Amino acid sequence: MAAMESNPGEVPKGFSIASLRGPFTRHNGPVYRADDDDDLRSGLFVLERHCNGMGFLHGGMIAAFSDSALAWAVWWKTQRRSVTLKLTLTYLDTVKVGTWLEARPTVTAEKDDCVHLYADLIGRYGAKVARADAVFRLLRRNRV
């Protein structure tokens, strides 16, 4: 599995490595974003370090990746920073090392400085492996 760490595979066309925002993401990435305007997808190659003791993608890593992908979608739609108020994950299948995992967010509502959205997480052969439902609160523009 060590080879997977250094060479996980070819990044799908239309994705580029995301600029990393902090030490957590630097350690747990790399994360990729779709290049096209209004394409909110994020991607991640599942590496050995992302897995649990059984060799599958760790549920906490799915949550962290989902949270990041959803936060990106909120930023893209609103151009405002936000914080996660609620994140609910439904795990549907296991994900193996070397898999390209893709988050496909959809914003469903914006109201009272809150953004409601979900993301389907897609693994090999287009199979949905998880679903993340979330609510993010938009921060005031001058708040960091």
Write out pLDDT tens, residues 123-142: 988 999 999 999 999 998 75
CA atoms within 13 A on the CB side of 16: 6
Write out pLDDT tens, residues 65-112: 999 999 999 999 999 999 999 999 999 999 999 999 999 999 999 999
Query: What is the rounded CA–CA span in Å between residue 32 and residue 35?
Result: 9
pTM: 0.88
> What is the dihedral angle through the alpha carbons of 97, 49, 25, 121, rounded to the nearest 10 degrees?
30
Strands 32-34 and 15-17: antiparallel
